């Protein structure tokens, strides 16, 4: 592969010029074409045909785009998940694919911890209600209230982010369990995390459940009403991974209304931005029953100034390594 030519690299929505981290990764030997649209159907076909590599974030990349990538050798996702990439079409086209797992596990783990603590300590509810207190103050307790050393936290997925969460939970005194059939017993022992042999076993045991696995055919809708029927009453559920790991907003609404779910902290949703749904509408209106029990953030758990720069540089560097040195970092098989 050539090291001398100027590479033409596409960059999609969410990343805006100037492309300084990407330029640094390519050592200046690059020309960028920006695709600012969130919908791949609006991509310029002529521009797609110029690309040697494609760095993608928000849009789905399907066959209708891939058929026009006649020079493209590699697609790299800025993020970790790749559920919106048509791997079969990439295989047919002979285009390599990589994701970008190195950046920001600490930021996602910090967000998960923040959501756990905010729900457990009922901080948002305290903040809102404290504004209404006049003649009373300290006697306004909110119950039930979990005590960390007596609480069990379940982690689904013990990869980079799940591991970072487990390490953060330990100093707080939580008992930590995890379910991940693809991780060795040695890793569980090193982290001092108890292994659950099934997702149902995990759900049945814990007071708090936090999700840290990719969205795949295996994990799609893995959290559903039937599974949650075995949960302890008042389960706190945190999701900073993918919205569709939970089968529906209906399941969350039913659990919250019944009290089976005590509260949810969601950085991700099945549809983003969310449309009209009873749960979403009640949250937007700040209805009393949602107060402090529904915390939603706009898919920003990954973000910090440092991690964003790190993410952008690493994704571009992965593309450059493939194009110039035939090194396929973070390879995701496309067959």
The pLDDT value given to residue 55: 98
Q: For residue 1, what pLDDT is reported?
A: 46
pTM, 2 dp: 0.90
DSSP output for 127-149: HHHHTT-SS--TT---SS---GG
Integer Cα distance of 224 and 245 in angstroms: 9
Q: Please tell me the distance from the alpha carbon of residue 326 to that of residue 3, in angstroms, as a whole number.
A: 11
pLDDT at 102: 81
- Name every residue whose Cβ is closer than 8 Å to that of residue 213 and which is 6 or more positions away in sequence: 156, 157, 159, 162, 180, 219, 241, 245
Q: Which residues are marked as active site?
A: 242, 272, 299
pLDDT at 297: 98
Place of tokens 């009453």: 233
- pLDDT value of residue 103: 84
The answer to whether the CB of 4 falls within 8 A of the CB of 328 is: no
Q: Which fold has domain 7-103+304-325?
A: Rossmann fold (3.40.50)
Q: Where are the alpha helices (DSSP H) in 44-136?
A: 45-50, 63-66, 87-93, 105-120, 123-130
Q: Which CATH superfamily is domain 105-296 in?
A: NAD(P)-binding Rossmann-like Domain (3.40.50.720)
Q: Which stretches of the chain score pLDDT less than 50?
A: 1-2
Contact 109, 161 (CB under 8 A): yes
**Positions of CATH 3.40.50.720 in the chain:** 7-103+304-325, 105-296
For the chain, what is the mean pLDDT? 96
Q: Over the range 217-244, which residues count as b (16 or more CB within 10 Å of their CB) and which as e?
A: eebeebbeeebbeebbeebbbbbbbbbb
- CA-to-CA separations, 324 to 3, 69, 318, in angstroms, rounded: 5, 19, 10
Q: What's the length of the chain? A: 335
Continuous H helices in 121-235: 123-130, 160-169, 185-191, 199-205, 225-228
What is the SS3 assignment for 70?
Answer: coil
By the 10 Å C-beta count (0-12 exposed, 13-18 middle, 19+ buried), 270 is classed as: middle
Tens digit of each residue's pLDDT (9 = 90 or more) over 209-232? 999 999 999 999 999 999 999 999
Cα 140 to Cα 263: distance, rounded to the nearest angstrom: 20
């Amino acid at each position: 592969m050539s090291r001398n030519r100027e590479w033409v690299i596409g960059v999609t929505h969410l990343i805006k010029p100037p492309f300084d981290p990407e330029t640094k990764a390519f050592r200046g030997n690059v020309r960028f074409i920006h695709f600012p649209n969130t919908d791949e159907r609006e991509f310029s076909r002529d521009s797609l045909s110029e690309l040697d590599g494609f760095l993608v974030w928000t849009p789905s990349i399907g066959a209708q785009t891939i058929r026009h990538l006649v020079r493209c050798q590699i697609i790299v996702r800025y993020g970790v998940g790749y559920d919106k990439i048509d791997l079969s079409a990439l295989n047919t086209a002979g285009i390599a694919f990589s994701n970008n797992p190195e950046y920001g596990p600490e930021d996602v783990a910090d967000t998960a911890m923040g959501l756990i603590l905010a729900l457990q300590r009922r901080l948002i509810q305290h903040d809102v209600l404290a504004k209404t207190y006049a003649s009373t103050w300290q006697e306004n307790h909110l119950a039930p209230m979990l005590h960390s050393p007596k609480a069990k936290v379940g982690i689904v997925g013990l990869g980079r982010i799940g591991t970072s969460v487990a390490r953060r939970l330990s100093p707080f005194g939580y008992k930590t369990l995890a379910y991940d059939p693809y991780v060795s017993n040695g890793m569980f022992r090193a982290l001092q995390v108890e292994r659950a042999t099934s997702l149902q076993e995990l759900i049945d045991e814990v007071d708090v459940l936090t999700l840290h696995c990719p969205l795949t055919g295996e994990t799609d809708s893995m959290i559903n009403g039937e599974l949650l029927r075995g949960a302890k009453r008042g389960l706190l559920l945190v999701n900073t991974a993918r919205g569709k790991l939970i089968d529906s907003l209906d399941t969350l609404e039913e659990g919250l209304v019944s009290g089976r779910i005590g509260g949810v902290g969601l950085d991700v949703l099945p549809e983003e931005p969310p449309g009209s749904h009873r749960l979403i509408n009640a949250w937007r209106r700040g209805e009393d029953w949602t107060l402090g029990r529904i915390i939603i953030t706009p898919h920003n758990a990954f973000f910090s100034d440092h991690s964003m720069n790190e993410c952008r540089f690493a994704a571009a560097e992965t593309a450059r390594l493939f194009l110039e040195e035939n090194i396929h970092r973070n390879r995701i098989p496309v067959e």
